[in-house]
Amino acid sequence: MDFIIDPPNGVSPLQIGMSYEQALEAISAWGEPSVSGPYAHTSTVKIRVDHHSMDIVAHLEDAETVTAIELWRFENDAPEIRVLLDDVDVFRTPAREVLRQQSERGRTVDESDPESPEIPNLTLAFTRETGQDIPREKDGLPLYFTSVLVAGVDYF
């Protein structure tokens, strides 16, 4: 199964701008969703589903509309699952290669925080943060991304 990252629109069938009800229905295509929030300190609601080797989270920062979608890779990879950005699997291609290819496409890559680089004009953010025992670069950074977030146009 392929998950296609389509910034700033989302990850089909889950789309930025969907209502809570629409997001709940869309994310249900991948499993039984759970909902958290809002909490006393924030109005954010998260709709989450575990799907094979991933955690998929719809962020509704106003508790009503999807503002961002985040995909997290679990330690035990499922080979039948791919998360694609421009036909590149963001969880199986080395992180530096993913960013290099995006830069070659003329996209601005912000690596000021090497663990959490962003492509602001695509409203994409990645993370390499992990407690997992996984392959690492010489500088200690994980070789692969552990999450990707796609958001609406004005998110960053």
pLDDT tens by residue, 61-103: 999 999 999 999 876 666 778 999 999 999 999 999 999 999 9
| The length of the chain, given as a count of residues | 156
Residue 137 is predicted with a pLDDT of: 75
The letter for the amino acid at 36 is S
Maximum distance among all Cα pairs of the chain, rounded to whole angstroms: 45
**How much is the pLDDT for 132?**
62
- Enter the pTM of the model: 0.91
DSSP labels, 98-149 = HHHHHHHTT---B-SSTTS-EEGGGTEEEE----S---B-TTS-BSS-SEEE
pLDDT tens-digit series, residues 113-152: 999 999 998 899 999 886 666 667 777 788 889 999 999 9
How many Å separate Cα 148 from the centre of its chain?
3
pLDDT in tens, 21-50: 999 999 999 999 999 998 888 899 999 999
Task: List, for residues 4-18, the tens digit of each pLDDT value.
Answer: 999 999 999 999 999
Terminus-to-terminus CA distance in the chain, angstroms? 29
Annotate 7-47 with DSSP letters as a single string. TTTEETTEETT-BHHHHHHHHGGGS--EEE--BTTB--EEE
Strand order of the sheet with strand 88-89? 14-15, 10-11, 2-6, 82-85, 88-89
